[in-house]
Amino acid sequence: MALKKINPIETVAWRKLQEHYQDIKEKKMVDMFQEDGERVNKFHVEWDKFYLDYSKNRLDDTTKKLLLELCEEVDLKDAIQKQFRGEVINATENRAVAHTRLRAQQKTKEVEAALEKMKVFSEKLIGGDWKGATGKSIQHVVNIGVGGSDLGSQMVLDALAAYQNQLQVHFVSNIDGDHVNEVLKKIDAERTVFIVVSKSFSTQETLSNATTIKNWLIDKGFTEKDINQHFVAVSACNEKAKNFGILEENIFPMWDWVGGRFSLWSAVGLAICCGIGYQNFTEMLDGARKMDEHFEKNSFDQNIPVLLALISIWYNNFFLTETEAVIPYSQYLQKFIPYLQQGVMESNGKNIDRSGKKVSYQTGNVIWGEPGTNAQHAFFQLIHQGTKLVPCDFIGFNNSVHGNKGHHHKLMANFFAQTQAFLSGKSQATIEEEIKELSLEEQERIKAYKCFEGNKPTNTLLIERLTPETLGSLLAMYEHKLFVQGIIWNIYSYDQWGVELGKQLASKIYQQLETREINTDLDASTRRLLQQFLTK
């Protein structure tokens, strides 16, 4: 059965939330803490290796109660059950959304077979048993893909760099020829395996880069037969992959029921297997499975993805914040934000609801951020003293990967201090005490600029340590968060029609660039830009 079609703004809970917002919108969080000594106990969740504190938010018991009532009115429980049963909830593309099957305790035979194939291949490469055309073992793996066939694997390998083996994994994604050429400079052709990742095996960026690399090998004297030992594919179109020159036994499966931005758990994550080993890959799957079970089975008032989604909706739809920042206090997670941007904004950037009507309320969130403490020296100024309200997720770890306590305590001191500063700010009285030794003229000149209003909302997520397992749980947590938001907003989170139009137009413009004949039916701006490009 399809997802239910319930307009959220027509629910009783939404109307009550609008009324409640008028009562709470100017309230100070520091006052809420003073008024309720149990606030921290009420607004936190402990689960497995995760501790979520959401007490530093502009909400109270009534807010939480009404948001949970909203879940009931849109029948969130039914939607969650439909997803985990693998029903066709991606209605516009007539597809199931079943990426959770990839990490389930009881996997299907096709998933088990794919995992076994990934295990055998990655262990051959890591163990030196896979030889290139000249008989040399493999040192480099190059993943050729774009979007969901690239970003997830890159992010995971960055995040788990401490677990990487001797294989050097590189990524080619952009159709920019400079990108592929820079990667080719770093590798030894005789000791490299290329993984072409494309569901259709016709994605322009991926096929262009794969063809360029294939020609590069041929220019170095490799034969078509030699190519077999240096190329594998992850695709749903075996025939096209074979026509490219890849042996059928070296083609790994992709399935319609796994969306690209949720596919790193599948054979699309083959580069991850190669870089950190199959055991670590499966530990990541186990971590995601644990979060799946938490999401599916826990009551909503103690359900981390549900609570995060509700808080996000509270700010997006009632405070009209539009953006939210994610600040991981780990340099390993530097690619985590771009990964989230793809997952969240490609999923929930929709203005048509499940009834085919244009929505009259905000959907989606603009996701942005940077690891701390770097972020503190960049955009925190805007959050602290700017004119925009920016809810933030702070992600920190109790223990560092390498165990340097001195560095880690300094890092985490900043982590805790920033959420405290966002909460409390700095009062006029505190400032006056700080500057009382200055002249009256100097005091008047600077005291307004030193003021921090505070009352800036944050979620604080503390995780035991960054490991394959906890990373898997973290990624699944944000997957389920965006799912909940999409259900409440009455949109289809799992299609991506907005990606297609630019591709279609690019194909037409490419032909015009090749023939140097510009179509007269183009808009005046694009026509002039093409003329300018072709004259240089």
Q: How high is the pLDDT of residue 432?
A: 83
Give the tens place of pLDDT for each residue, 463-513.
Answer: 999 999 999 999 999 999 999 999 999 999 999 888 888 888 888 999 999
Any catalytic annotation for residue 65? no
Instruction: Please tell me the predicted confidence (pLDDT) of residue 363.
Output: 97
Active-site hit among 377, 405, 409, 410 = 377
Catalytic residue list contains 124: no
Does the pLDDT of residue 158 top 90, yes or no?
yes
Residues 6 or more apart whose CB falls under 8 angstroms from that of 72 comprise: 13
Radius of gyration of the chain (CA): 26
Q: What phi and psi values does residue 222 have, to the nearest 5 degrees? A: -75, 140
Query: What are the backbone dihedrals phi and psi of residue 462, each rounded to the nearest 5 degrees, phi first?
Result: -105, 125
> Which pLDDT value is given to residue 202?
86
What is the spatial distance between Cα 536 and Cα 527, in angstroms, rounded to a whole number? Answer: 15
For residue 163, pLDDT beyond 80? yes
Average pLDDT over all residues of the chain: 95
User: Tens digit of pLDDT for each residue in 35-94?
Assistant: 999 999 999 999 999 999 999 999 999 999 999 999 999 999 999 999 999 999 999 999
Tens digits of residue pLDDT in 173-222: 999 999 999 999 999 999 999 999 999 998 889 999 999 999 999 999 99
pLDDT at site 430: 86
Kindly tell me if the per-residue pLDDT of 1 is higher than 80. Answer: no
Residue 182 phi/psi, 5-degree rounding, is: -65, -35
447 pLDDT above the threshold of 90 = no
In contact, 144 and 179? CB cutoff 8 Å: no
Residues of the chain with pLDDT > 70: what percent?
Answer: 100
Residue closest to 117 by CA, chosen among 228, 254, 226? 254
434 pLDDT above the threshold of 90: no
DSSP letters of 362-415?
----EEEE--TTGGGGTTHHHHHHSSS---EEEEEESS-SS--HHHHHHHHHHH
Instruction: Average the pLDDT over 443-462 and give the result.
Output: 92
Instruction: Let me know if 437 is a catalytic residue.
Output: no
On the question of pLDDT at 242 being above 90, the answer is: yes
Q: Of these residues, 190, 205, 283, 346, which one is catalytic?
A: 346
- Decide if pLDDT at 536 tops 80: no
Q: In Å, how far from its chain's centre is CA 445? A: 44
Residue 473, pLDDT score: 98
pLDDT of residue 435: 87
- Which sign, positive or negative, has the C-alpha torsion 37, 43, 46, 49? negative
pLDDT digits (tens, 9 = 90+) for 357-391: 999 999 999 999 999 999 999 999 999 999 999 99
Longest dimension (CA), the chain: 84
Q: Which of 186, 503, 508, 517 is catalytic?
A: 503
- Asked if the bond preceding 373 is cis, omega within 30° of 0, the reply is yes
Distances (CA, A) of 70 to 4, 133, 285: 14, 61, 31
The answer to whether residue 334 scores a pLDDT higher than 80 is yes
Q: Write b or e for each residue in 337-363: b if 16 or more Cβ atoms lie within 10 A of its Cβ, otherwise e.
A: bebbbbbbbbbbebeebbeeeebeeeb
Specify the pLDDT at position 247.
96
